[in-house]
A = this chain, B = another copy of it.
Amino acid sequence: MSLIPIRPGLPFGTQPERSDAARNRERLLQAARDLVAEHGVDAVTMDMLACRADVGKGTVFRRFGSRAGLMMTLLSDAEAEFQREFIFGPPPLGPGAPPLERLIAFGEARIKYVDEYGELARAAAEHSPQNRHDAPPVVLWHRHIEMLLREAGLDRDPWLLALSLGATLDPERTLHALRSHGVTPERLAASWRELVTRLLKDA
């Protein structure tokens, strides 16, 4: 009987990955990043990925579950970084600033994030209202907004209010404003600031 070695990045208590599985995972991630860089998120198909990584299609789906799952995996580093910043980072995004300022900073950061990774984020949410609204990161952002609203003294159903504010920052909408209507990130951020400032005024 041997101890199960700790593998960072895998769920606690999981068996270690078999070596061929680990190799294929790396091959797939590399191929996916390359294909996205070459053709853009929307043009990458799962068959294409399997072919490029030289694995079977079944392997791709075993690894990521779905196209959305693949995209989430590609996003996970950026997502983790974003979470770190608003949870542990310096104010005004992180703790230490008054709630209104944190809320403003949160929106700004989120808009910047979407401007940078929006296509991936959108693809990660496609074809599943469940994943779109109840994925762990989404729930976390939502809780964060709710907490800030409470801190600011908004006690009337802050959960639903947070849902509404979250809707404003939804990747698909934000991306659509940015790309299809040529709205600048700065203008979006100004509108967000206006919205939350009015909302929290004398709360």
Contact = CB atoms under 8 A, between A and B. Distances in A.
A177 B163 contact: yes
Given A160-B183, A195-B199, A129 B168 contact: no
26 contacts: A122-B129, A129-B172, A129-B175, A129-B180, A130-B180, A132-B172, A133-B173, A133-B180, A134-B180, A156-B190, A157-B190, A157-B194, A160-B177, A160-B183, A160-B187, A161-B191, A161-B194, A161-B195, A163-B173, A164-B167, A164-B168, A167-B167, A167-B168, A198-B198, A198-B201, A199-B199
A108 interface: no
Interface in A152-203: 156-157, 160-161, 163-164, 167-168, 170, 172-173, 175-177, 180, 183, 187-188, 190-192, 194-195, 198-199, 201, 203
What is the oligomeric copy number? 2
B163 A194 contact: no
Contacts of A203: 198
Interface string A121-149: 01000000110111000000000000000
Chief secondary structure at chain A's binding surface: helix
A160 B188 contact: yes
Contacts of A194: 156-157, 161
Given A167-B170, A173-B133, A177-B160, A198 B199 contact: yes
Nearest to A203: B198
A191 B157 contact: yes
| Among all A-B residue pairs, the 10 with the closest Cβ atoms | A160-B191, A167-B167, A164-B168, A133-B176, A167-B168, A157-B191, A156-B194, A129-B176, A198-B199, A167-B173
A109 B125 CA distance: 28
A173 B162 CA distance: 12
